[in-house]
Amino acid sequence: MSELDKLLQQMEEAEASELYLQVGQQPKFRIHGDMAPVEDAPAMDQRMLGRYLMELVNETQREAFFKARDFYFVYSIEGKFRFRCNFFFQQTGYAAVFRPIPNRVPTFDRLGLPPVLEKLAELAGGTVLVAGPPGCGKTTTMAAIVNTINENLRQHVIIIEKPIEFLHKNKKSMIVHREVGLDTESFNKAVQAIARQDVDVALLSEFRDPEMIFDALKAANRGTLVYGAVYAGSAVEAIDAVIDAFPPDRQPLARDMLAESLQAVVVQDLVPVIGGKQRVPACEILLQSDGLAEAVRKGDSESILSLIRSGRDSGMQTMDDALAELVKEDVIDEASARKRARDKERFAKRAGGDRA
């Protein structure tokens, strides 16, 4: 067993969500949101960390890392533990971040997600954006949606990722995993093939390249249900991120295509619970409703926010409202929630019991 394998197993035992390695620093775990050095572990120099990292990759992966200076892959230990791994260079030399991948495909109940999100698995087609910062659980939430589809519907589902994270076994649906760089040349090529492959549902772990987004929106408008991951902190920002990926002269068409196909935007963050033993998801939810398509076409952020606030009965909520509810339920503390709130005044009213 390699030295890094020992650290990764120690990470599992500590229930850490991340392991950070950097030249000149002790290894550090993130446990329930807080970072702490690994006990008794020495600071790592370039030679030591290089040796640790190179034990995990083959020659082809090693060459890819040194060429790109940034390399992302999945590593497993004896088939029991799997980790998302990112190797990169920084000012003092090597660095790496590791995140564990649960062995079981997640369910909505286990994740503590709002029940309304389970209904996204029943959509007949269109675009669903799943947004949030890195490490907030976007991939996990999309995996839970695919699991619901797999257990209840007979669909042809294609998952396009780099690398493949959760592995789904076929139940009622046929699940196809395509890893970019191994099973397909690029995200663009894989998305272009969706129409030829008669895909009912497509899950895309990236939604940033304009050509790939264009083809994904085209597929969504033709009836494929497309889930795409976006780095954004709100529903409005997620929509803007998709449009802003295009050059100015193509943005009007992109707005029209997204307006026609958009079914939902889910934005999530992970917040430490009171006592700090774990983290829970807080979600902003925008669902398709009258007026949404026009608001997207016009880029009318205020109208989109108004639709969310007026759509509580159908399961919509802003992130501030989600945080306030968790405070009122004594799940998270008010100080932690306030840091994440955007409209501090509205959050304070909601956390204090004002439903307006």
pLDDT in tens, 111-139: 989 999 999 999 999 999 999 998 888 99
More confident position, 14 or 177 = 177
The whole-number pLDDT of residue 181 equals: 85
CA dihedral (45, 46, 47, 51) in degrees, to 10, reads 110
User: HSE-up of 65 (CA within 13 Å, CB side)?
Assistant: 21
The answer to whether 20 touches 7, Cβ cutoff 8 Å, is no
Statement: residue 103 has pLDDT above 90: no
Instruction: Tell me if domain 3-101 and domain 108-262 are identical in fold.
Output: no
State which amino acid sits at residue 268.
Q
Q: In this predicted structure, what is the pLDDT of residue 140? A: 92
pLDDT given at position 277: 72
pLDDT tens string 234-257: 999 999 999 999 999 999 999 999
Helix 235-244 to helix 251-261 angle (10° resolution) is 140
269 burial (CB, 10 Å; 0-12 / 13-18 / 19+) is buried
**How confident is the model at residue 299, as a pLDDT?**
95
The full set of domain ranges for the chain reads 3-101, 108-262
* Beta carbons within 8 Å of 122's beta carbon, 6+ residues apart: 153
What is residue 336's predicted lDDT score, i.e. its pLDDT?
A: 86
pLDDT at res. 179: 92
What's the pLDDT at 302? 96
Q: Which residues contact 204 (CB under 8 A, 6 or more apart)?
A: 160, 187, 191, 212, 216, 226, 227, 228, 229
Which whole number is the average pLDDT over 316-334?
Answer: 94
Q: How confident is the model at residue 353 (pLDDT cuts 50, 70, 90)?
A: low
Tokens representing residue 48 in the block: 């030591």
Give the pLDDT band (50/70/90) at residue 354.
low
Q: Do 271 and 320 form a contact (C-beta atoms < 8 A)?
A: no
For residue 33, what pLDDT band results from cuts at 50, 70 and 90? confident
**Shortest CA distance to 285 belongs to which of 307, 254, 301?**
307
Model confidence pLDDT, tens digit, residues 158-216: 999 988 889 999 999 999 999 998 899 999 999 999 989 999 999 999 998 999 999 99
What's the rounded mean pLDDT across residues 53-76?
92
Top CATH class of 108-262 equals: alpha beta
> pLDDT by residue (tens digit) across 258-315?
999 999 999 999 998 998 678 899 999 999 999 999 999 999 999 999 999 999 999 9
Please state, for a pLDDT cut of 70, what percent of the chain lies above it.
98
CATH number of 3-101: 3.30.450.90
Q: State the pLDDT at residue 1.
A: 64
With a cut of 60, say whether residue 355 has pLDDT above it.
Answer: no
> pTM (2 decimals)?
0.86
Predicted pLDDT at 12: 85
Does 320 score more than 60 pLDDT?
Answer: yes
Share of the chain above pLDDT 90, in %: 76
Confidence of residue 67 (pLDDT cuts 50, 70, 90): very high
Please check the confidence at residue 79 and state whether its pLDDT lies above 80. Answer: no
In this prediction, residue 317 carries a pLDDT of: 96
Question: For residues 348 and 352, which has the higher predicted lDDT (pLDDT)?
Answer: 348
Mean residue pLDDT across the chain: 93
> 19 near 8, Cβ under 8 Å?
yes
